[in-house]
Amino acid sequence: MKICVLPGDGIGPEIMAQAVRVLQALDLKFEMEEGLVGGCAVDAAGTPLPEATLKLAREADAILLGAVGGPKWDTYPRDQRPERGLLGIRKELGLFANLRPAILYPELANASTLKPEVVSGLDILIVRELTGDIYFGQPRGIETREVDGENQRVGWNTMIYAEYEIRRILRVAFEAAMKRGRRLCSVDKMNVLETTQLWRDIAEETKKDYPEVELTHMLVDNAAMQLVRNPKQFDVMVTGNMFGDILSDEASMLTGSIGMLPSASLNADNKGMYEPSHGSAPDIAGRNVANPLATMLSAAMMMRYSFDDEASAQRIENAVKKVLAQGYRTGDIYEPGTRRVGTKEMGDAVLAVL
């Protein structure tokens, strides 16, 4: 089992170090190879996604990624920005299906900013399309043009989905719903956007193959509101790349912190990249305070989806549950009466359980 490890930038290396320790503690035959992606790759190789990294990612059975980006690179030309490295791997490997499970561990019911009764028992799966939409649509750009007789800068992007892209992500979502509560909510903005009208039409067509699944539709603005009003109404949610990006960050707070939300990005062959849903958190980088649990839980998803090893996935998830029950908390999930620890100490606690 060959794992490509991409720590990235900011808190990336700190949280990755702990997730790697967890994988090593499983005592399985892993071969782990580290690569550069994001800002660190721009600094070292002049590009956010060096050929060597892409080769490593292609040859590995699975990829574990920390996070990329940071203020240092925010003024770089767009093709040299760290985020391009991440988007490049997703696109090159066809990782179109992004699964983001928002699960509230009972111990964290008070860590959420929402009332405990609103979030307790929460278990939502957000299925986000990851290689299309306005993220990748052409044309795009910024240029100076004449507008109403005056030269002005104009910026534009293209929100576009082809039928096959919508169809395949909806299938993933329906299949996931079949294995869970059999309720699927498709989120769109069909009242305004043609691309999401097509999305809704295809959702209805796909439903014919899944008669046991209850399909509902919701406009994205309402979905954002419903997620904080009554999140437990949802089982599986499916949506496009940009809406999914925004809604999954929102959903992370239902679980206590963005530091708790893992993700799997899968392609048609179930090859996957696993990454926490959060970013490189430049505001806390290098201080040993970041929460490494989302990255460890992403490693658990890797065991489940790429290596078909449910037992190891559950070992990691149970170890996380146990340390939370023991009271260990990083700053983002801390509350009085619990034990505040750093990134590395959280790793120590999980390792002790494992």
Min dist CB 345 to Mn ion, Å, is 27
Q: Which of residues 219-248 bind ligand IPM (CB under 6 A)?
A: 245
CB of 85 to ligand IPM, least distance (A): 9
- 3-state class (DSSP) for residue 161: coil
Residue 307 per-residue DSSP state: S
Size of the site for ligand IPM (CB under 6 A): 7
Q: What are phi and psi of 125, to 5 degrees?
A: -115, 120
285 labelled ligand-binding: yes
Instruction: Choose, from 9, 105, 135, 271, the residue flagged as catalytic.
Output: 135
- Exposure of 123 by Cβ count < 10 A (0-12 exposed, 13-18 middle, 19+ buried)? middle
278 lines the binding site for ligand NAD (CB under 6 A): yes
Residues 260-279: x where in contact with ligand IPM by CB under 6 A, - otherwise, as a string: -----------------x-x
Per the residue annotation, which of 133, 188, 245, 332 is the catalytic one? 245
Q: Binding string to ligand NAD for residues 288 to 307, with x set by CB under 6 A, is what? A: --xx--x-------------
Measured distance CA(32)–CA(16) in Å, rounded:
12
- The tokens for 231 are 């999140």
| Binding partner at 87 among ligand NAD, Mn ion, ligand IPM, none, C-beta below 5 to 8 Å by kind | ligand IPM
CA distance 125 to 33: 30
99 touches ligand NAD by CB under 6 A: no
**Residues 185-224 as x/- pattern, contact with ligand IPM by CB under 6 A:** ----------------------------------------
Sequence-ordered alpha helix ranges (H) in the chain: 12-25, 39-45, 51-59, 82-92, 116-119, 163-178, 194-207, 220-229, 241-252, 293-305, 310-325, 343-353
Q: Round to whole Å and give the CA distance between 293 and 350.
A: 9
Active-site annotation holder among 43, 61, 123, 249: 249
188, β-bridge pairs: 219
Q: Is 87 in the site for ligand IPM (CB under 6 A)?
A: yes
Give the tokens for residue 18.
């702990």
Selected from 107, 245, 275, 332, the binder of Mn ion by CB under 5 A is: 245
Smallest distance, Å, CB 242 to ligand IPM? 8
Would you name the residues annotated as active-site residues? 135, 189, 221, 245, 249
